[in-house]
A and B are shown apart, each in its own frame.
Chain A
Amino acid sequence: MQTFSHLLQKAYQEKTDQVILYLLESGKEDQPVTYRELIEGAAAYAEAIEQAGIQPGDVVILILQHGSDLIHAFFGAVLCGAIPSIMPFLTEKLLPERYRADLASLISITKPAAIVTYPEFESEVRSALVEGDSVHAVLVSNQVADSTIPDFDRLAGLKRKPEDIVLLQHSSGTTGLQKGVALSHQAVFNQLESYSQSLRLQPDDVVVSWLPLYHDMGLIAGFLMPIMSGISLVIMSPFEWVRAPHKLMQAVSKYRGTLSWLPNFAYNFCAQKIRDRHMDGIDLSSWRAISNCSEPMRWESEHVFFEKFAPYGLLPEAFATCYAMAENVFAVTQGGIDAPVTVDEIDREALQREWLARPAQAGQPSVKMLSAGKPIPNVEVCILGKDIQTLAERHIGEIALRSNCMLTGYFHRPDVTKKAFHNGWYLTGDYGYMLNGEVFITGRKKDMIIVGGKNIYPQDLELIAMSVPGVHAGRTVAFGIFDADAGTEEVVIVAEVDSEDPAERERIANDIRQAVTRGSAVALRHVHLVDQKWLVKTSSGKIARSANKDKFLKEVL
């Protein structure tokens, strides 16, 4: 298949009445959607986008909540040859002015030609626009027809080439929004073909997902893969799932779901929050692979999840793992499909001090490492040492990869793209080791914090904290610490302050919490105020995040 549009045309003509997705919304009947409905809804958006003067290859930003408008607008942009990019919708937590600043930051780099949103959000979007920027049109959802018969002879999407960019994916926050991962039709198809083999994807598989579509795991595994492969998809909003996690279990039971992807925290969350009364009559025996993906995976999290749900038919074989990144479209490795996930119990001291994954010795402190599985067929992985030399098995280094589904580049950022590669290998910024062809992830070289599967750039949080009166520029540091109970990282901010007055310090700590929570949509609980000169700096005077994290863990916890 050449492009997304060709595939959609084929599905429209050959699988017209196949129900391809079920949209689950709280308080409403489940809504089955056929390929015909999906593509006619998309064609209506394609027409509106085209009429707004958007040209093939232009970027269209979608600011819509999880639901049919978002789905139609996404494929509508594709059908008219434009490049869709989904921006997270404003949440209650985030200050509107912060959201506007993030949007402005996205616009300045990505240079979209249009933004699609709801009528009630139009003025918010317009307030982020400035005279002379790239945005020619703000399309509002209620002015787009519900459906249109697609005219495939006219749709510009069918004139795109396989190497053209089909979509952009962004991480969140000011920094993340400036680094759009641009993927070609061919790259996505190559990923789907290879990943389908690793998953042993079958026509009767059913994917169940509550994941957001602005993130690679939700967009690729929980959306594009099933729709482009003709596999049924059951989809619900992350906002509804977080309020009622049992709805995931009910959906799997009702639709005989077979595949899901969850970030590690979701295993703890489901195990802790779901009440037995919500599990009456639930049968989870159809679930054949639940892949733990997108944040560090913990054996303990898997364990509590499988213990909790085994009485409802959950099979131990369903335990699966995946290592993925948007730069490779999605999956790099997959484990737990043909054989149980390998658990490698290693020596804790050697891991921390010697960069070695040495098998654990009786009586010594150990860590149970979960294998992320083998690279999927089109991906090669190697582990690089400090001098970019290839390391042997069980030696920990930076994970590098090579595949035919890599990003075309960071959109409009050739400088950043160039730095990401070394001799054709993409440097992931993650640390890990190999054993018997399987990849184990041990940590991160990059300073990214991952909370609930969401990537957070510490520099964004530090900038916000510095805006609080009493805190000085360049004297804050943000990092993540693992919270075993929640199964994910918690953000910590350490800030140097001059004041020694306890009441004033309390005020500053509260202001930092408030400013960061509302400025980044990351709930900040741990603020630690220190005296001057506490923070560790590098020789060039920069704040060293990992050294400060180590100091915090030693001195404070």
Chain B
Amino acid sequence: MTDTIMDALAKQIAVEMLKQPKRVIQPDEALISSGLIDSFHLVDLALFIEDTFGITIDDAELNADTFDTLKQLAELIRSRQ
């Protein structure tokens, strides 16, 4: 099953944040609690989501309690579209 939202997020994270274009990010892989995404990149992620999907994520929501995986983030985006 493909998921365009998850694919776009995975690509953005691998290319722009981790600078490892070949890095595969699993739908259930922990992003924030594992330290994979640096705190300096959380605001980039929020800006990317705003530009790409037209929804806003408040800064107070940029933590592992709101979303920690691609799957959870995609669900959050879908619920606001």
Chain A residues in the interface with B (C-beta under 8 A): 26-27, 91-94, 239-240, 242-245, 247, 269, 273, 275, 452, 517-518, 521, 523, 525-526
Contact = CB atoms under 8 A, between A and B. Distances in A.
A269 B40 contact: yes
A247 B64 CA distance: 21
Contacts of B32: 92
Given A26-B60, A92-B64, A242 B44 contact: no
A19 B44 CA distance: 36
9 contacts: A92-B64, A93-B38, A94-B35, A239-B39, A242-B42, A247-B59, A273-B47, A525-B18, A525-B19
B38 A523 contact: yes
B76 interface: no
Given A244-B43, A525-B20, 6 more contacts: A242-B40, A242-B42, A247-B59, A275-B47, A523-B38, A526-B19
B62 interface: yes
A26 B18 contact: no
| Candidate in B40, B42, B62 with the most chain A CB atoms within 10 angstroms | B40
Nearest to A527: B20
Contacts of A247: 59
Q: Which 4 A-B pairs have the closest CB atoms?
A: A93-B35, A244-B59, A523-B38, A243-B59
B75 to A, nearest CB: 21
B72 interface: no
Contacts of A517: 35-36
Contacts, number: 49
B25 to A, nearest CB: 13
B33 interface: yes
Contacts of A244: 43, 59
A244 B59 CA distance: 6
B42 to A, nearest CB: 5
Interface string B1-43: 0000000000000000011100000000000111110111011
Interface of B: 18-20, 32-36, 38-40, 42-44, 46-47, 59-60, 62, 64
Nearest to B43: A273
Contacts of B36: 517
A27 B60 contact: yes
B60 A91 contact: no
Contact of A273 (B19, B33, B44, B64): B44
Given A91-B39, A92-B64, A269-B40, A240 B19 contact: no
B33 A92 contact: yes
A517 B19 CA distance: 14
A243 B62 contact: yes
Contacts of A94: 35
Contacts of B64: 92
A242 B43 contact: yes
A448 to B, nearest CB: 20
A425 to B, nearest CB: 37
A93 B35 CA distance: 4
Contacts of A269: 40
A245 B38 contact: no
Nearest to B38: A523
Given A26-B60, A525-B19, A245 B43 contact: yes
Contacts of B47: 273, 275
| Candidate in A244, A269, A452, A518 with the most chain B CB atoms within 10 angstroms | A244
B63 to A, nearest CB: 8
A92 B35 contact: yes
B39 A243 contact: yes
A452 B35 CA distance: 17
Given A92-B33, A92-B35, A93-B38, A243 B43 contact: yes
Contacts of A526: 19
B42 A243 contact: yes
Contacts of B46: 243
